[in-house]
Amino acid sequence: MGLRICLRYITKIKNRVIKVKAGQKEMHNMELVCPLCNGMLNYEIYCLRCGGRLKDQGAIVDYLDEYSPYLSNDITQLVDGVEYEKCCHLFKCDRCDFEKRVEINRVRM
C-alpha cells in the first residue's frame, strides 16, 4: 500500500496565489515589480549637460513623504504619476546636479 496524497489547495506566498493541482503549479495574480528597484537591472544614463554618468536615486514615490518607502506597492504605484505598469526613478548627476526622471517598465514575478 502506498500513501496517496491529493494536492488540491490554494495557498498564498508573498502576495502570490499559487494553485497546486496534481503536482503542477500555476501562477495566478503575478505581481508587477520594478527590475531596477529589485536589483535585476542596471540602467546607465548620461547627463545632457556635462556628459557625466547619472546615478539612480531610487523610485520617485520614496521621496513623497517620510513613510512612503514603507508603504505597500499597491498604494505607491497609484501616486507616482506614471502608468501602473511603470516605475518612475530619479537619476542625478554628481558633477552638475542635473536630475532626470526615467520610467522603467515593471515585469511580472
* Segment 85-103, tens digit of pLDDT: 899 999 999 999 999 999 9
- Spatial neighbors of 49 by CB under 8 A, at least 6 apart, are 93, 96, 98
Please report which confidence band the pLDDT of residue 29 belongs to, taking 50, 70 and 90 as the band edges: low
Residue 64 within a domain:
yes
Residue 20: count other Cβ atoms within 10 Å of its Cβ.
13
Quote the domain boundaries for residue 81: 32-108
Sign of CA dihedral 35, 39, 43, 48: positive
Residue 9 within a domain:
no
Q: Per the structure, how many domains does the chain have?
A: 1
Amino acid sitting at position 42: N
* Segment 9-28, tens digit of pLDDT: 333 333 344 444 444 444 45
Residue 16 within a domain:
no
Residue 10 within a domain:
no
Residue 4 within a domain:
no
> Is residue 80's pLDDT more than 60?
yes
Residue 19 within a domain:
no
